[in-house]
Amino acid sequence: MERFSTRKVDELGRIVLHSELRKKLGLEAGSNVTLTVIDSIVIVQRTDAGGIRVCQIGRITIPDEIRQKFAWVAGSAVAVYHTDNLLILKTP
């Protein structure tokens, strides 16, 4: 697993996924992802139906309950790691 970058949470609870990561995961505008919390990480995976949509510029909105669990508020840093088929979000 490789750390790719650190992203900031905006006022609406969104983070932007870098275009290189979106390409690796096959995520385009309108693609759906699921967020799964396991201990101290959030796993982001592409899904065919339901989930959270990736917007035109690659943002995803992290639900309130996840942001509260990790104390991610506007301006918080989120470390983004990746494997071949998923992303991992974590407090740096």
Domain boundaries, the chain: 2-90
Which two tokens mark 11?
């006022």
pLDDT of residue 80: 94
Rounded-to-integer distance, Cα 85 and Cα 92, Å:
21
Band the pLDDT of 1: cuts 50, 70, 90: low
Q: Quick check: pTM over 0.85?
A: yes
Taking residues 49-65, report their average pLDDT.
94
How buried is 15 (Cβ within 10 angstroms: 0-12 exposed, 13-18 middle, 19+ buried)? buried
Which two tokens mark 9?
């949470």
Long-range contacts of 28-37 (CB under 8 A, 24+ apart): 28/54, 29/54, 29/55, 29/56, 29/58, 30/54, 33/60, 35/60, 35/62, 35/63, 35/66, 37/66, 37/69
What CATH number should be reported for the domain whose range is 2-90? Answer: 3.40.1550.20
